[in-house]
Chain A
Amino acid sequence: QSVLTQPPSASGTPGQRVTISCSGSSSNIGSNTVNWYQQLPGTAPKLLIYSNNQRPSGVPDRFSGSKSGTSASLAISGLQSDDEADYYCAAWDDSLNGWVFGGGTKLTVL
């Protein structure tokens, strides 16, 4: 059981916009920033979004993040087949004194 809650799956067709939610509590998302990671099959996670809505250099602006209260969202616009991957949210948890992750969302491009 992950501390952060994500839907196990999401899907969309090429060109569509999809969003992935991440729900937490006052001790994690409610008081700290959120990172998002993309994990392609058989590879290490890659940082996609940090500090709720900042993109590292090299990450396309099709990827965007937002946060409101104790929830965060990742939006992917102009969906491409290469976007098919697992996506994870993460945040520091003040009560646990550690980082916590969502259970991951498997994105399928139909």
Chain B
Amino acid sequence: QVQLVQSGAEVKKPGASVKVSCKASGYTFTSYYMHWVRQAPGQGLEWMGIINPSGGSTSYAQKFQGRVTMTRDTSTSTVYMELSSLRSEDTAVYYCAKGLDYWGQGALVTVSS
């Protein structure tokens, strides 16, 4: 069965970067795009961008352009999302989602001084 297992919770200071991982199993990793979606506390869902695990091409939401980098490692079926220049408003649960159908369990990133 499809499983997306994300890395654990992180606490970062403003201005720092965070890198969240998402390890996929149960399907052909390179056959489906992976999305990243975040959810601030008590708020709705916000799409951040997408990566094609096959070739590594990416497309980011305009809001995150210049601050987000999505990469993948086909040898371990893992995708990564790195967000830089963190601010308090980036405090959220970050989800990876295969084709927006199966979702990881989420990774809480807290930005606090």
Nearest-CB residue, chain A, relative to B6: A44
CA of A96 to CA of B95, assembled, Å: 21
CA of A98 to CA of B61, assembled, Å: 6
**Chain A positions within 8 Å of B49 at CB level:** 98
B71 to A: closest C-beta gap in Å = 19
CA of A99 to CA of B61, assembled, Å: 8
Interface residue? B59 (CB, 8 A): yes
Instruction: Give chain A's interface residue range (CB within 8 Å of chain B).
Output: 20 to 34
> Can you sample 18 A-B contacts with CB below 8 Å?
A35-B100, A44-B95, A44-B104, A44-B105, A47-B100, A47-B101, A47-B102, A56-B101, A88-B44, A88-B45, A96-B62, A97-B59, A98-B49, A98-B59, A98-B62, A99-B47, A99-B100, A101-B37
Interface residue? B46 (CB, 8 A): yes
Interface residue? A100 (CB, 8 A): yes
Q: Given contacts A90-B100, A101-B44, A101-B45, list 11 more A-B pairs with CB under 8 A.
A: A37-B45, A44-B103, A44-B105, A45-B37, A45-B97, A45-B103, A50-B101, A90-B45, A96-B61, A98-B47, A98-B62
CA of A45 to CA of B4, assembled, Å: 13
CA of A50 to CA of B62, assembled, Å: 25
**Chain B positions within 8 Å of A46 at CB level:** 103
Nearest-CB residue, chain B, relative to A86: B44
Interface residue? A65 (CB, 8 A): no
Interface residue? A104 (CB, 8 A): yes
Interface residue? A68 (CB, 8 A): no
B49 to A: closest C-beta gap in Å = 8
Using known A-B contacts A46-B103, A47-B100, A50-B101, determine if residue A102 contacts B44 with beta carbons closer than 8 Å.
yes
